[in-house]
């Protein structure tokens, strides 16, 4: 066994478990029945403790054991899960994460610093344990009040076994220890539901000492449990190990036929298992003989679905649906076991190779057309189809759901709202929206700035909100969706909105805007992205120093995206981020200007039409609608066109349309995006470059920036700031 590889697996899985634990802790107070969340929290702590024990990480084991003890009392119902306990457990989760990171970096999760930081947390956990009052689990109490009468009456069925206890037949799988589970802990937990009258440990599966694997489990148990709990409660004691064990639970006074079924199902030799049942006190020798005789005479069992249909209890369609669902669940579990972990660097390398393959395929396509050989062209066409399919599959491997990123902000909202003394809730939608993992990794900081800004500046205090007729608690909403080949992420709040006049006055004061200059609301709100710009009346730990929003815009622009703000006084503010789905490969459309080629992202193109506008006109009529035009020759300073016929490529982004005037339409083109060198950082309306099949370089147009220029020009014209209709868009050109 490779211990280094196993340790890395432990570290990775522990990080994921801590994320699950944090998510469950943040949501446990928002659900009516917190049972599932509490179990998820306990499962995470229990698994980390068990796995840490396998590697001798005693610091993690000791600390997590105390956390697990508290969670055990919470499961029982003897400790209430309130805000104070949630906050404490979140701090414990952070500490376990620090221990895991210490193991990852130094191989040790029990340093002096970590022990010092753990001490006050352990004291608070021990205090929570010391304050609880012993009480019967709620589930057991409820079960005692509603237990079936047949389990406690003396007039049981004639062929029933006269036992007053539950019989539990338990076989753990060989991998239960490797999966971080301690079989004995489940047996100890049974004592909290009642009294174990007898237990028989089965060692038949133990191999010879030389063949024994110390990480494998070979034991089975036959248990007689006296308890007033119901079957669901007893089965719940094994919830975390159901996938790693074979479990059969028979209630008191069960019929002999049920023991027959259990004997047949467990796969043991009937005489051997029968002896064990006698040793447990579950069966008498006479009852054992009757059970074995019944097994020999028992006819083949009729499927329960057929029985229910014959009795008229359910319709055939219901049984069919149940069987279909059962099959889907089984297939889902099978798929889960087929998933594997792949290092992110390997995926990045795969994408690079696919990009090189696309470039080589473009060269082969060009050579095939020049050869005029039909067979070569057909072979190249098949190759191009396979390359395109491979590209799509490779990109799908890098696509991840944004929900995991959104979930991180539940903790941010939880902690910050308490720090600033506001009651703020986080709402999330569109968490299943997928985008490239590289984009996901780089939007964390911008989103953090926006969420914290919304909480600190956007959401009013409770008294102000009540005075304005709003709920006392504020709401921050994260939403994501796809639009025109981009992913749109919205960060909105229901606060007081931006102060338009205050922003404009501050901009005039700083010399960003001339006094008396007329600006649209969008332009005024966009001023908050200027470096050092802030209208905060006081500086807090979160904001007010004029840093953050300019970083947001810089990071988003670096991802070939853009950011926009909409706000309404007294209603709230919405910040919209638009980002490309992937940073590596796109479908493009090739256009020509003189001897140069440019690529437009294909998913932003609506249509191509013939250029019919009059000279010097910046607009054309598109089926009764005004379409603003941008002459790319003017943008890049290429002079007048000598082409006999020009075309318009209609592009759409964020609900806005613009027509790009080009000399030639050259067709679709798989585009491998190559970033521009730092010397071109100031180039506008260009988002990258690509290599054509001929080896020439084509620039990729930044369609959103071009549309923004057209919208800006139209806004200035409406406001009367544009002196002539034929003004060039030189401010959009490459610097």
Show the beta-strand stretches assigned E in 548-646.
562-568, 572-580, 585-593, 596-601, 605-610, 619-622, 625-631
- What is the rounded CA–CA span in Å between residue 82 and residue 167? 37
3-state secondary structure at position 400: strand
What is the rounded average pLDDT of the residues 318-331? 58
Lowest-pLDDT choice from 73-82, 223-232, 310-319, 453-462: 310-319
3-state secondary structure at position 713: helix
CATH class of 141-301: alpha beta
Q: Which of 674, 725, 723, 734 is nearest to 700 (CA)?
A: 674
Residue reference for tokens 């608070």: 124
What is the rounded average pLDDT of the residues 475-484? 89
Given a cut of 60, is residue 412 above it in pLDDT?
A: yes
- What is the rounded CA–CA span in Å between residue 277 and residue 222? 7
Lowest-pLDDT choice from 108-122, 262-276, 359-373, 514-528: 262-276
Rounding to the nearest 10 degrees, give the CA dihedral for residues 714, 720, 721, 722: 60
Tell me the whole-structure pTM to 2 decimals.
0.58
Structure tokens at 695: 């080896």
The pLDDT of residue 283 is: 66
The pLDDT of residue 157 is: 38
Structure tokens at 480: 């994501």
- What is the rounded CA–CA span in Å between residue 392 and residue 402? 19
- What is the rounded CA–CA span in Å between residue 488 and residue 443? 12
The pLDDT of residue 220 is: 84
Given a cut of 50, is residue 342 above it in pLDDT?
A: yes
- The residues pairing with 481 across neighbouring beta strands, listed in sequence order, are 488
Task: Give the model's confidence band at 310: pLDDT under 50 very low, under 70 low, under 90 confident, else very high.
Answer: low
What is the rounded average pLDDT of the residues 626-641? 82
Q: Which residue has the higher pLDDT, 136 or 557?
A: 557
The pLDDT of residue 241 is: 80
Task: Give the model's confidence band at 649: pLDDT under 50 very low, under 70 low, under 90 confident, else very high.
Answer: very high
Task: Give the model's confidence band at 35: pLDDT under 50 very low, under 70 low, under 90 confident, else very high.
Answer: confident
- Give 678: exposed, middle or buried? Use CB within 10 Å, 0-12, 13-18, 19+: exposed
CATH number of 586-732: 2.40.50.180
Given a cut of 60, is residue 371 above it in pLDDT?
A: yes
Cα(first)–Cα(last) distance of the chain, in Å? 59
What is the rounded average pLDDT of the residues 401-408? 86
Lowest-pLDDT choice from 323-332, 648-657, 663-672: 323-332
Given a cut of 60, is residue 547 above it in pLDDT?
A: no
Query: Which uninterrupted H or E stretch holds 648?
Result: strand 647-653
- The answer to whether 259 and 278 are in contact (CB under 8 A) is no
**Per-residue pLDDT tens for 132-159?**
443 333 333 333 333 333 333 333 334 5
Percent residues over pLDDT 90 in the chain: 9
Task: Give the model's confidence band at 633: pLDDT under 50 very low, under 70 low, under 90 confident, else very high.
Answer: confident
The pLDDT of residue 544 is: 45
Residue 91: partners with Cβ closer than 8 Å, 6 or more residues away: 121
Structure tokens at 262: 């259990």
Percent residues over pLDDT 70 in the chain: 77
Query: Which uninterrupted H or E stretch holds 583?
Result: none
- The residues pairing with 84 across neighbouring beta strands, listed in sequence order, are none
- What is the rounded CA–CA span in Å between residue 108 and residue 59? 9
Query: Which uninterrupted H or E stretch holds 533?
Result: none
CB atoms within 10 A of CB 59: 18
C-alpha triplet 339, 175, 278: angle, nearest 5°: 135
Q: What does each C-alpha distance from 114 to 44, 100, 163, 522 come to in angstroms?
A: 20, 11, 52, 50
For domain 402-580, which architecture applies?
2-Layer Sandwich (3.30)
Lowest-pLDDT choice from 132-136, 160-164, 441-445, 507-511: 132-136
Task: Give the model's confidence band at 729: pLDDT under 50 very low, under 70 low, under 90 confident, else very high.
Answer: very low
Q: Which of 697, 659, 658 is nearest to 680 (CA)?
A: 697
- What is the rounded CA–CA span in Å between residue 195 and residue 214? 31
The pLDDT of residue 573 is: 92
The pLDDT of residue 429 is: 92
Residue 506: DSSP 8-state: H
The pLDDT of residue 579 is: 86
**Per-residue pLDDT tens for 689-727?**
888 877 788 888 888 778 877 776 665 555 554 444 333
Backbone angles phi, psi at 614, to 5 degrees: -75, 160
Residue 160: DSSP 8-state: B
Q: Which of 14-18, 234-238, 714-718 has the highest mean pLDDT?
A: 14-18
Strands 245-250 and 424-429: what pairing?
unpaired
357-381 b/e (C-beta count within 10 Å ≥ 16 → b): bbbebbebbeebeeeeeeeeeeebe
Q: Where are the domains of the chain?
A: 3-135, 141-301, 344-400, 402-580, 586-732
Q: Which residue has the higher pLDDT, 137 or 635?
A: 635
Q: Which residue has the higher pLDDT, 516 or 19?
A: 19
- What is the rounded CA–CA span in Å between residue 191 and residue 136? 12
The pLDDT of residue 265 is: 58
Q: Which of 654, 667, 552 is nearest to 608 (CA)?
A: 667
Domain 3-135, what fold? Answer: 1.20.120
What is the rounded average pLDDT of the residues 434-460? 87
Given a cut of 80, is residue 199 above it in pLDDT?
A: yes
- The answer to whether 385 and 422 are in contact (CB under 8 A) is no
The pLDDT of residue 491 is: 93
Task: Give the model's confidence band at 227: pLDDT under 50 very low, under 70 low, under 90 confident, else very high.
Answer: confident
Q: How high does pLDDT run on average in the chain?
A: 77
Residue 543: partners with Cβ closer than 8 Å, 6 or more residues away: 452, 453, 456, 457, 534, 536
- What is the rounded CA–CA span in Å between residue 578 and residue 564? 9
The pLDDT of residue 148 is: 34
What is the rounded average pLDDT of the residues 616-640? 83
């Amino acid at each position: 066994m490779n211990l280094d590889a196993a340790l890395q697996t432990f570290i990775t899985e522990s990080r994921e478990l801590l994320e699950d634990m944090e998510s469950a802790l943040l949501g446990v107070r928002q659900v009516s029945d917190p049972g599932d969340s509490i179990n998820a929290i306990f499962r995470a702590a229990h698994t980390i403790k068990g796995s840490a024990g396998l590697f001798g990480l005693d610091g993690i084991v000791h600390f997590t054991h105390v956390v697990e003890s508290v969670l055990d009392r919470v499961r029982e119902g003897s400790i209430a899960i309130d805000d104070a306990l949630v906050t404490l457990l979140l701090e414990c989760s952070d500490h376990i994460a620090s221990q895991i990171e210490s193991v990852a970096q130094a191989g040790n999760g029990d340093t002096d610093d970590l022990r010092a930081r753990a001490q006050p947390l352990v004291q608070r956990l021990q205090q929570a344990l010391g304050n609880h009052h012993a009480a019967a689990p709620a589930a057991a109490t409820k079960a005692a009040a509603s237990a079936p009468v047949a389990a406690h009456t003396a007039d049981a069925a004639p062929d029933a076994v006269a036992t007053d206890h539950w019989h539990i037949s338990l076989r753990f799988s060989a991998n239960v220890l490797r999966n971080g589970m301690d079989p004995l802990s489940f047996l100890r937990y049974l004592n909290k539901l009642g009294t174990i009258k007898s237990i028989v440990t089965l060692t038949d599966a133990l191999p010879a000492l030389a063949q024994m694997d110390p990480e494998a489990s070979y034991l089975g148990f036959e248990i007689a449990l006296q308890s007033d709990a119901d079957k669901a409660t007893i089965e719940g004691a094994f919830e975390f190990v159901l996938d790693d064990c074979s479990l059969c639970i028979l209630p008191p006074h069960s019929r002999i036929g049920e023991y027959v079924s259990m004997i047949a199902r467990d796969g043991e030799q009937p005489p051997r298992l029968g002896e064990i049942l006698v040793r447990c006190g579950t069966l008498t020798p006479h009852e054992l003989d009757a059970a074995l005789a019944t097994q020999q005479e028992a006819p083949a069992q009729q499927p329960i679905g057929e029985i229910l249909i014959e009795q008229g209890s359910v319709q055939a369609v219901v049984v069919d649906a149940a069987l279909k669902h059962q099959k889907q669940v089984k297939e889902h579990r099978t798929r889960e076991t087929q998933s594997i972990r792949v290092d992110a660097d390997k995926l990045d390398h795969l994408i690079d190779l696919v990009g090189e393959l696309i470039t080589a395929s473009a060269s082969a396509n060009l050579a095939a057309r020049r050869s005029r050989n039909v067979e070569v062209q057909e072979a190249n066409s098949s190759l191009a189809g396979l390359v395109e399919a491979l590209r799509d599959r490779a990109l799908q491997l890098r696509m991840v759901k944004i929900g995991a990123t959104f979930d991180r902000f539940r903790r941010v909202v939880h902690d910050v709202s308490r720090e600033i003394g506001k009651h703020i809730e986080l709402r999330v939608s569109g968490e299943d929206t997928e985008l490239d993992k590289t984009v996901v990794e780089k939007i964390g900081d911008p989103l953090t700035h926006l969420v914290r800004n919304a909480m600190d500046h956007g959401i009013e205090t409770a008294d102000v909100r009540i005075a304005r007729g709003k709920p006392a608690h504020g709401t921050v909403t994260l939403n994501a969706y796809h639009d025109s080949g981009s992913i749109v992420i919205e960060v909105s709040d229901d606060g007081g909105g931006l102060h338009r006049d205050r922003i404009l006055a501050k901009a005039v004061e700083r010399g960003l805007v001339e006094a008396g200059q007329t600006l649209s609301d969008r332009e005024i709100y966009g001023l908050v992205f200027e470096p050092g710009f802030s209208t905060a009346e006081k500086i807090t730990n979160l904001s007010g120093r004029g840093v953050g929003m300019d970083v947001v815009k810089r990071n988003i622009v670096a991802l070939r995206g853009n950011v926009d703000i909409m706000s309404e006084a007294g209603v709230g503010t919405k910040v919209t981020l638009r980002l490309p789905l992937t940073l590596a490969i796109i479908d493009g459309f090739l256009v020509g200007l003189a001897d140069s080629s440019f690529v437009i992202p294909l998913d932003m193109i609506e249509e191509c039409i013939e250029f019919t506008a009059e000279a010097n006109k910046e607009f054309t009529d598109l089926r009764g609608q005004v379409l603003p035009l941008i002459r790319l020759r003017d943008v890049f300073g290429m002079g007048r066109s000598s082409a006999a016929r020009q075309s318009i490529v209609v592009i759409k982004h964020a609900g806005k349309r613009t027509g790009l005037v080009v000399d030639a339409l050259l067709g679709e083109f798989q585009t491998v995006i190559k970033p521009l060198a730092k010397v071109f950082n100031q180039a506008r309306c260009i988002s990258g470059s690509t290599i054509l099949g001929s080896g020439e370089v084509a620039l990729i147009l930044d369609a959103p920036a071009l549309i923004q220029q057209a919208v800006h020009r139209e806004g200035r014209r409406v406001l009367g700031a544009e002196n002539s209709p034929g003004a060039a868009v030189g401010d959009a050109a490459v610097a």
